[in-house]
Amino acid sequence: MATSPRVAMRAVRNLYGLCIPKVRVPEAASATFKKGALVVSTSGYTDECGADPALILGVATKDGQNGTASGDKEQEVEVAMPGTLFMGNLSNAADTAVGAATDRFLPLGVLRDATSETWFVDTGETSADRVVIWEFWLQDAEVMGDVRTRVLFQFDPVYCQANAVD
């Protein structure tokens, strides 16, 4: 059993054959998140999501730029929309999760690794699910059963900020 490298989450495909939606949004002051971070827009400014996010605007395409004031810097975000598939690692808090065929179409949570600051699909979180796994993204001689298997997933539309309506 091998261990797949940590990768930044990113959008890779649209199920409807359309382009991947992106939006440029001003960053919040002092934003220091990493490329691939889950982000939310609060009062019009983009910042990293917290644990079990209530809303997810999407995935940051570059590191946060640590601007002095809100709006000093701008971030391009791959928008979390129904039909857009993202790629990321499958893991858990202990970083020991392995992929299995039974993970397909499984609703799971998301978690940020405190050391690497990388977000991943959390196999240990089934009560605060935010994503659904669609398929596996095996590359570079990776096989099913490797630790940190790469997966394609869709964000649950309930938590997609650009899809939220009251």
The β-bridge relationship of strands 119-122 and 84-91 is: parallel
Number of CB atoms found within 10 A of residue 16's CB: 10
Cα–Cα distance for residue pair 41/26, rounded to 1 Å:
9
Q: Which residues pair with 107 in a beta bridge?
A: 132
For 114, phi then psi, to 5°, come to -65, -30
Three-state DSSP class for 109? strand
pLDDT for the residue numbered 145: 82
Closest CA to 84 of 137, 158, 155: 155
**End-to-end CA separation in angstroms for the chain:** 47
Cα–Cα distance for residue pair 125/50, rounded to 1 Å:
15
Q: Which residues of the chain are modeled with pLDDT < 70?
A: 164-166
Task: Look up residue 6 and give its two tokens.
Answer: 């940590």
Tell me if the pTM is above 0.85. Answer: yes
Closest CA to 26 of 41, 45, 8, 13: 45
For 158, phi then psi, to 5°, come to -60, -30
pLDDT for the residue numbered 141: 79
pLDDT 10s digits, 30-68: 999 999 999 999 999 999 999 999 999 999 999 999 999
Residue with tokens 């261990």: 3
Element (H, E) at 24: strand 22-26
